[in-house]
Amino acid sequence: MKDAKEQSSEIVVEDQKIIGNGSSIRETITDVRGFLAWGAYTGIKSKRRDLALIYSEVPASAAAVFTQNMVVAEPVKISRKHIKQGRAQLFVINAGNANACTGEQGRLGAQEMVDTAAKTFDLDPKHIIIASTGVIGRKFPTEKVVKGIIKNASKLTSDPIAGTLAANAILTTDTFAKESYSRAKIGKHEIRMAGIAKGSGMIHPNMATMLGFIVTDAAITPPLLDEALRECVNESFNMITVDGDTSTNDMVAVMANGQSGMPEIKTKGKAYKAFREELMEHCVVLASQIVSDGEGSTRLIQYDVEGAPNKVAARQIARTISDSNLVKTAFFGRDPNWGRIVAAAGRAGVSYNPDKTDLFISTEKRTVQLLENGQPVKWNARTLKSMMRAIHLFVRINLKSGKGRATAWGSDLSYEYVRINAEYTT
């Protein structure tokens, strides 16, 4: 072989059959231009992937919103600082250990997670956003995470399977991976957007961390991205309730790397609105998948509140209804108990005239009115009963007391939920 002529034998192949890029594999975050990903085993979890890496080939505009819980995990403390630059290039997320209530050991571990990633990927540490999810108060497995970052950096790929692996690597007790993908037009440019998320699991309320990571090849300034994300999270992730608890680790983050070639969105014009709408769609889809995978949840119920005195009031009412255990158990029992819905609305701390209330229940196919001006409407019991079997239900309540509107999502409350939470021993 040493005698062979030194030449590159590289040739172009025309008819290479490509696995996994056929029309029947579904797109993931790595189909968004300029993004690579991987989901790896580090051994924190004995049999499942537990480290996700999401990388932009160029520095991207970035924004994130974090938990409002007073107790905050170490990665949240760091990422909150980093995101202030408005730029990021890498998300590093581990599952299996939340790095919350871990003290100095955890603080150092989170810092080492950043420093290792910065060194491995040759990045400004401030361009790295880290997140953790899993058990709280247990020593952070720094060495496993650090080794995992180093070992798996070279595996980053745009292959669609990598997006799926990343989506699975951030799960804890979720029963399925949450993923979204879309293509949209902004002006003349096609942009792509995709997201992954994890939600509440089956074990303990304070492990029910909600994480969302969205990537897009749209171009937008960091302040506008931040504003859009806050608005979207406020009307999606913040409007879902599984058990009302907020975690120490909640985070939704987005990178927009501009690789679609579109001109950067710098003002709140038409392009901004189109972008915001697309981002909203992803936040709503990911959040609703989280509700669908709630502890023992069997139904996803959307609550639309209209005609509230103002938006804040509408949000308060929507959340109070969607959070009500009486409403939730009624839905589990397939009982369209309007009394419980109206009662929950009435105790939301908002002043309105209940005698004007209209109330509707819908499936995707049909709608039945239950109340008109606060008075029961006679409905077709058989229709209603069959409607209550749907796994997606829509409750619309119109207070006719103003222009405030809001939407919230909630699950029902099943025997399964009680069993899970009753049988779990710490």
Q: Does 314 bind its own copies (CB under 8 A)?
A: no
Least Å from the CB of residue 161 to its own copies: 5
Structure tokens at 88: 């990021």
CB of 96 to its own copies, least distance (A): 13
What number of CA atoms fall less than 13 Å from residue 137's CA on the CB side?
A: 5
270 versus 424: smaller Cβ distance to its own copies: 424
Nearer to its own copies, 83 or 162 (CB): 162
* Dihedral pair phi/psi, residue 389, rounded to 5°: -80, -20
- Please give the C-alpha separations between residue 119 and each of 57, 113, 150, in angstroms, as whole numbers: 16, 10, 9
Q: Does 190 bind its own copies (CB under 8 A)?
A: no
Indicate the residue among 168 and 316 with the shorter CB distance to its own copies.
Answer: 168
Q: How far apart are CA 155 and CA 162, in angstroms?
A: 9
Site membership for its own copies, residue 22 (CB under 8 A): yes
Q: Could you say which of 159, 235, 250, 412 contacts its own copies (CB under 8 A)?
A: 159
Q: Which of 407, 408, 411, 413: binder of its own copies (CB under 8 A)?
A: 407
Give yes or no for a contact between 92 and 117, defined as CB atoms under 8 angstroms apart.
yes
Q: Which of 71, 203, 274, 326 binds its own copies (CB under 8 A)?
A: 203
Beta strands in 99-177 (DSSP E): 128-135
- The single residue among 69, 111, 182, 337 that binds its own copies, judged by CB under 8 A, is 182
Out of 111, 221, 234, 298, which residue is the one contacting its own copies (CB under 8 A)? Answer: 298
What's the rounded Cα separation, in Å, for the pair 108 and 105?
Answer: 5
Interface with its own copies in residues 27-56 (CB under 8 A): 27, 41, 47-49
Number of neighbours of residue 376 by Cβ within 10 angstroms: 12
State yes or no: residue 285 binds its own copies (CB under 8 A). yes
Q: 30, 164, 209, 248: which one is catalytic?
A: 209
209 is catalytic: yes
Q: Is 185 among the residues that bind its own copies (CB under 8 A)?
A: no
Q: Closest distance between its own copies and the C-beta of residue 193, in Å?
A: 7
Is 236:208 a contact under the CB 8 Å cutoff?
no
Contacts for 378 with CB less than 8 Å, ≥ 6 apart: none
For residue 244, the 8-state DSSP code is S
Catalytic annotation, residues: 209
